[in-house]
């Protein structure tokens, strides 16, 4: 295959799209054009990472082996941790350790954390003692906390230095810290955080100015156990590029970059989506099949139990359904409309919680709003559905007894209106209740919503029909 040589950005996007459509052709091209691959890895590690994720693990590992360790480490930094872990399994522990050593500490920890226990131990044992110690220290923090998100590659200097001395030290640390030179953190002899100096402020300070005169002592920081949602909220609220992380004693241990906060928000939202339907909150396309089955199957079985319960409810109205068989044609419509309305309320509430727009004190106001929306939408849809039912009932008539257009219209109106009210209440209320119970607000909430709207929809429909036609 021929690909026109161009600048790395254009070349990267071209091969990335090819890799997603025809991975074998992309791999063959890069295997035969080593200089283009290395130029791409250096100039566009983001695109290089996307390309490797589109290939199989063996092909991706072969391409990584063609790169110097530092360049391969930059590409691994940009890969999804689970995808990178799959690729590293194609290397020997020593080869994998050489690449991990070139990665940023926080990314390396995420990658190693995605490995199974045996591979994780083998690679850590192959790392140099200092790197291994750093990785093991960070692995103790949960991935969804500030400790799990932070990097320890930070600029921290003692109080008493002048701006010129600090700049000289940072110049020597530039290769080690790279893009982490966002802020200078001022510490005491016990590494307790005393102040923060933005790098720009340090550079433009007059020669001889002390760090104590430059630093901001009104520090915004987070603890190692701070939840990632709260970390992201603090970074957003104060418009920070990074936020320092301290332990229980105020000792500086790292910082969380804004890029990590953005990833945390995206991860939180994606977890909410999977949790809503009963999939594992940490499940991805890289999760082993057996683990996915264990996480999903209980909720599917729960759905089966709900279905049996619904069947039991419907069977209680068998005389009505036998006499007026046309009712069976309209029942699913009621549940479908209510389910969609409830899902809208559910999505709005969970999204608001995910981005921090719904503090606990405003929960009841949000629920009242969704009920009001359900009332208005329910009234409009009840009239509309009743009209459609009245106009079409003649065509669907079955059984010995027939239903007049007015009767089916009333039945559908009452059932849809009640179902919309309940859907608004339940769709907004389930996440609030789960949060008050200390659970994930999205935890299988869609399953509970569907269960309740189906029960209410079918029951209100059949009860109304029995009363009106009985």
pLDDT in tens, 220-235: 999 999 988 889 888 8
Dihedral pair phi/psi, residue 183, rounded to 5°: -135, 150
Q: What is the pLDDT of residue 279?
A: 54
Tell me which of 411 and 439 has the higher pLDDT.
411
**HSE-up (13 A, CA, CB side) for residue 204:** 4
What CATH number does the domain located at 289-469 have?
1.10.357.20
> What average pLDDT does range 126-146 have in this prediction?
89
Res. 370 pLDDT band, cuts 50 70 90: very high
Q: Is residue 90 predicted with pLDDT exceeding 70?
A: yes
SS3 115: coil
Q: Kindly list the strands in the beta sheet with 252-257, ordered across the sheet, starting from the edge strand earlier in the chain.
A: 222-223, 242-246, 252-257
In this structure, are residues 8 and 43 in contact, taking their beta carbons and an 8 Å threshold? yes
Q: Is residue 124 predicted with pLDDT exceeding 90?
A: yes
Mean pLDDT of the chain: 85
In this structure, are residues 244 and 185 in contact, taking their beta carbons and an 8 Å threshold? yes
Q: Is residue 415 predicted with pLDDT exceeding 50?
A: yes
Residue 216: name the closest of 241, 177, 185 by CA.
185
CA dihedral 111, 113, 119, 124 (to 10 degrees): 80
Res. 329 pLDDT band, cuts 50 70 90: confident
d(CA 384, CA 380): 6
Res. 459 pLDDT band, cuts 50 70 90: very high
Where is mean pLDDT largest: 235-239, 266-270, 277-281?
A: 235-239
Q: Is residue 252 predicted with pLDDT exceeding 90?
A: yes
The residues, ordered by sequence, that sit 6+ positions from 2 with a Cβ below 8 Å of its Cβ are: none
Q: Is residue 431 predicted with pLDDT exceeding 70?
A: yes
SS3 218: coil
Q: Is residue 129 predicted with pLDDT exceeding 50?
A: yes
CATH 1.10.3720.10 fits 155-256, yes or no: no
Task: Indicate the class that CATH gives domain 8-140.
Answer: mainly alpha
| pLDDT tens per residue across span 155-214 | 899 988 888 888 888 888 776 666 667 789 999 999 999 999 988 888 888 888 989 899
Res. 463 pLDDT band, cuts 50 70 90: very high
| CA angle 363–364–368, rounded 5-degree value | 120
d(CA 399, CA 322): 7
Residue 420: name the closest of 387, 454, 462, 375 by CA.
375
Phi-psi region of 48 (alpha: psi -120 to 50; beta: other; left: phi over 0): alpha
For the chain, what are the domain ranges? Answer: 8-140, 155-256, 289-469
Q: What is the pLDDT of residue 6?
A: 47
Is the sign of the CA dihedral 450, 454, 455, 457 positive or negative? positive
Res. 275 pLDDT band, cuts 50 70 90: low
SS3 88: helix
Q: What is the pLDDT of residue 287?
A: 65
Q: What is the pLDDT of residue 95?
A: 93
> What average pLDDT does range 372-396 have in this prediction?
90
Q: Is residue 1 predicted with pLDDT exceeding 60?
A: no
Q: What is the largest CA-CA distance in the chain?
A: 100
Candidate from 80-89, 158-167, 432-441, 446-455 with smallest mean pLDDT: 432-441
d(CA 350, CA 431): 7
SS3 197: strand
In this structure, are residues 86 and 113 in contact, taking their beta carbons and an 8 Å threshold? no
Q: What is the pLDDT of residue 269?
A: 64
């Amino acid at each position: 295959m021929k690909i026109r040589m161009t600048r790395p950005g254009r070349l990267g996007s071209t091969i990335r799209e090819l890799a997603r459509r025809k991975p074998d052709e992309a791999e063959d091209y890069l295997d035969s054009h080593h200089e283009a691959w290395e130029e791409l890895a250096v100039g566009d590690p983001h695109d290089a990472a996307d390309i490797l994720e589109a290939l199989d693990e063996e092909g991706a590992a072969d391409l990584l082996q063609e790169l110097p360790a530092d360049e391969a480490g930059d590409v691994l930094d940009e890969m999804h941790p689970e995808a990178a872990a799959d690729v590293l399994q194609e290397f020997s522990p020593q080869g994998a350790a050489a690449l991990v050593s070139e990665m940023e500490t926080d990314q390396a920890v995420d990658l190693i954390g995605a490995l199974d226990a045996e591979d994780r131990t083998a690679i850590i044992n192959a790392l140099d003692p200092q790197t291994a110690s750093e990785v093991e220290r960070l692995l103790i923090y949960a991935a969804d906390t500030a400790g799990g998100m932070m990097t320890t590659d930070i600029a921290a200097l003692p109080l008493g230095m002048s701006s010129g001395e600090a700049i000289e030290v940072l110049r020597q640390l530039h290769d080690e810290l790279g893009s982490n030179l966002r802020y200078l953190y001022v510490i005491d002899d016990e590494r307790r955080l005393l102040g923060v100096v933005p790098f720009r402020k340090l550079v433009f300070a007059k020669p001889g100015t002390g760090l104590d005169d430059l630093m901001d002592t009104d520090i915004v920081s987070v603890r190692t156990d701070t939840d990632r949602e709260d970390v992201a909220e603090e970074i957003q609220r104060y418009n920070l590029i990074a936020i320092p992380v301290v332990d229980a004693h105020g000792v500086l241990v790292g910082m969380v970059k804004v890029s990590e906060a953005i990833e945390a928000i995206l991860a939180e939202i994606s977890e909410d989506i999977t949790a809503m339907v009963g999939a594992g909150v940490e499940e991805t396309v890289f999760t082993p099949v057996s683990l996915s089955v264990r996480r999903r199957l209980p909720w599917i079985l729960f759905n089966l139990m709900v279905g049996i319960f619904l069947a039991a409810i419907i069977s209680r109205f068998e005389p009505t359904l036998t006499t007026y068989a046309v009712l069976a044609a309209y029942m699913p419509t009621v549940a479908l409309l209510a389910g969609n309305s409830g899902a809208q309320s559910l999505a709005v509430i969970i999204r608001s919680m995910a981005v921090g727009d719904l503090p606990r004190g405003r929960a009841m106001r949000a629920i009242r709003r969704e009920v009001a929306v359900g009332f208005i939408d329910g009234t409009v849809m009840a009239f509309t559905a009743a009209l459609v039912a009245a106009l079409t009932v003649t065509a669907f008539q079955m059984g010995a007894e027939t239903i007049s257009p007015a009767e089916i219209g009333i039945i559908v109106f009452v059932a849809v209106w009640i179902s919309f009210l309940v859907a608004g209440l339940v769709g907004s209320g389930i996440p609030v209740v789960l949060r008050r119970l200390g659970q994930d607000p999205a935890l299988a909430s869609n399953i509970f919503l569907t269960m309740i709207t189906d029960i209410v929809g079918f029951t209100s429909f059949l009860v109304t029909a029995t009363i009106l036609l009985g």
